Chain A
Amino acid sequence: DAMVIQNPRYQVTQFGKPVTLSCSQTLNHNVMYWYQQKSSQAPKLLFHYYDKDFNNEADTPDNFQSRRPNTSFCFLDIRSPGLGDAAMYLCATSRAGSNQPQHFGDGTRLSIL
């Protein structure tokens, strides 16, 4: 009964070929997040949606975009993946409020050929 579902678990793409990762939730949470986690590093926030409002972190490359067509779904688009974009991408959700914990998906491991 996973509540934050990420598909696929593993994604392989070619250098420069656009790729989309998806996340869905059954928790009806307002806020959805995308994190990038490289090997042996902490998750790094890329951006988040508060309802329909998109909030980009200052150091997130322009190559990374996101869409949230409805409450349940959120997508991460990488327009031209480079070798340095190989990582685990984590989706998380939470209710609004600073003391609300985030619920994470299993992640999608992205490999770049």
Chain B
Amino acid sequence: AQRVTQPEKLLSVFKGAPVELKCNYSYSGSPELFWYVQYSRQRLQLLLRHISRESIKGFTADLNKGETSFHLKKPFAQEEDSAMYYCALISRAGNMLTFGGGTRLMVKP
């Protein structure tokens, strides 16, 4: 069975501080991993996916198969980064997303 774990429900940092949102997964195969973000009163939207190896809004995430992790990082947090972040996994066999429990990031001024 596939599972995604985000150990922190809430992460609070000051503006300008580095931020790392943790995500661990269990899946017997090669997963596709995503980070989705939900800003206050907005729809859930894709932030980035591991296959693209891109940086979006200063965020990056590296898939570490040895540690089965896909942590989201940003060197300098901004207040507008405050949001709910979900790590998600999709199996190569289908389209079904399995979400982690989510981490609420609060960036304080």
Residues in A lying within 8 Å of B, measured CB to CB: 4, 31, 33, 40-45, 48, 50, 90, 92, 94, 96-107
Contacts and interface: CB of A to CB of B under 8 A. Distances in A.
User: Chain B, interface size: which category?
Assistant: 20 to 34
Most buried by A among B45, B97, B102: B97
Nearest to B30: A98
Contact of A90 (B44, B46, B96): B44
A42 B101 contact: yes
A42 B99 contact: yes
B99 to A, nearest CB: 4
Contact of A94 (B43, B91, B95, B101): B95
Contacts of B101: 41-42
B49 A50 contact: no
A105 B51 contact: no
Contact of A102 (B42, B93, B97, B100): B97
Nearest to B101: A42
B90 interface: yes
Contact of A98 (B43, B90, B100, B102): B90
B97 A99 contact: no
A102 B46 contact: yes
A98 B44 contact: no
A67 to B, nearest CB: 19
Given A41-B101, A42-B102, A43-B86, 11 more contacts: A4-B43, A42-B99, A42-B101, A43-B44, A44-B99, A45-B97, A92-B44, A94-B95, A100-B95, A106-B42, A107-B43
Contacts of B99: 42-44
Given A42-B86, A105-B43, A98 B92 contact: yes
Contacts of B9: 40
A105 B42 CA distance: 9
B34 A104 contact: no
A103 B100 CA distance: 17
A41 B45 CA distance: 16
Contacts of B93: 98
Contacts of B34: 101
